[in-house]
Amino acid sequence: DDLDGFIAGLPKAELHLHIEGSLEPELMFALASRNGVEIPFKSVEEVRAAYEFSNLQDFLDIYYAGANVLRTEEDFRDLAVAYFDRAAADGVTHAEIFFDPQTHTHRGIPFGVAANGLLAGMAEAEAKHGLTSKLILCFLRHLDEDDAFRTLTQAQPWIDRIAGVGLDSSEVGHPPSKFQRVFDAAGAMGLKRVAHAGEEGPPEYVREALDLLHIDRLDHGNRSLEDPQLVTRLARGGMTLTVCPLSNVKLCNVASIDVHPIDRMLKLGLRATVNSDDPAYFGGYIGDNYRAVARGRGLGRDAIVTLARNSFLGSFLADDAVAAHL
Ligand code: HPA
Ligand code: ZN
């Protein structure tokens, strides 16, 4: 049967997408040339060949280097529009996208250049495709608490256009507890809170994200499966997990797509969703991720529908908007 057509036609929300991770090598070259920025690659093929990672840090080093070509509001808008065009083609009707302001402010690009450019791209996607979106500001966890607080202060003029805060970058050695106070401050401003936890870090980091950061959604969360009591807690609490299958395989956190635990998560009662994380680096957009787990794990249409439905239930859309998407 036409499983690919079924997946493409199913409305879905993307809840775990780093916009800087959607920078395709072709656009990287175009922006490098437009901005007169040197990049350490001779061709698009050479860039793609460099995308072999054995862990999260391997990837992060090359991902932060790639972001160096992003200089102007127009660059950020073009990046976002390119992502939304591909997402719309995959049947995405709503996306909640991450950006890493510190990756840009640390190289002299003001917060507003990234924010204004991305917001312009989001408006364009809604006009062009009817694709709605929300913006989530991620703190880089390898940097310190003061730097995160400075970033939250810089965000103030845009705060009504930012849905929430997140936590990403190098997980092990940078537990959620390091950012308890800044997440408290964000919560007091009415922002939603999400955090990457249990991607490479232990189940204890997931517990910290719940107890100390008061997260509304858990990014990745795979290693929760090592702790049955934690699984029960996440399932009973209706916590959404934003799982990224191709990312898990590319970063060697899962041996192959054929042993990915996505269906086990569903059977355990977890509200799991399928997302692309950094599609330009991990070999596929959200449709590729759905197709990969559908084939690799032999998912039936019922499981695929559950995953898509979970993506809207786990979104930060109001209940009436969720109902309109389902
Ligand atoms: N994990 C942590 N940080 C990240 C990721 C990820 O998968 N992608 C971009 N920043
Ligand atoms: Zn991520």
The rounded mean pLDDT for the chain is 97
Distance from the alpha carbon of residue 323 to the mean position of ligand 1, in angstroms: 30
| pLDDT > 90? residue 8 | yes
Render pLDDT for 149-164 as a digit per residue (tens, 0 to 9): 999 999 999 999 999 9
| pLDDT > 80? residue 322 | yes
| pLDDT > 80? residue 141 | yes
Residue of 286, 119, 136 whose CA lies nearest to 196: 136
In a domain, 123, yes or no: yes
18 is in an annotated binding site: yes
Query: Predicted ipTM?
Result: 0.96
In a domain, 31, yes or no: no
In a domain, 58, yes or no: no
The maximal CA–CA distance of the chain, rounded, in angstroms, is: 54
In a domain, 85, yes or no: yes
In a domain, 40, yes or no: no
Return the ligand 1 atom nearest residue 278 CA.
8
| pLDDT > 90? residue 302 | yes
In a domain, 160, yes or no: yes
In a domain, 302, yes or no: yes
Ordered strands of the 192-197 beta sheet: 12-14, 92-99, 132-140, 164-168, 192-197, 217-220, 240-243, 271-274
Full residue range of the structural domain in which residue 304 is found: 3-25+73-316
In a domain, 241, yes or no: yes
Half-sphere exposure of 127 (CA within 13 A, CB side): 7
> Looking at residue 112, which CATH number applies to its domain?
3.20.20.140
Render pLDDT for 48-75 as a digit per residue (tens, 0 to 9): 999 999 999 999 999 999 999 999 999 9
Q: What is the mean pLDDT of residues 296-317?
A: 98
Would the CB of 250 count as within 6 Å of ligand 1? no
pLDDT at 219: 99
pLDDT at 186: 98
Domain count, the chain: 1
Cβ pair 120, 77 in contact under 8 A: yes
Cβ pair 249, 257 in contact under 8 A: yes
Render pLDDT for 101-110 as a digit per residue (tens, 0 to 9): 999 999 999 9
What is the secondary structure of 212-268 as a DSSP string?
Answer: TS--SEEEE-GGGGG-HHHHHHHHHTT-EEEE-HHHHHHTTSSS-GGG-THHHHHHT
Q: Give the ranges where 168-214 is alpha helix by DSSP (H).
A: 180-188, 203-211
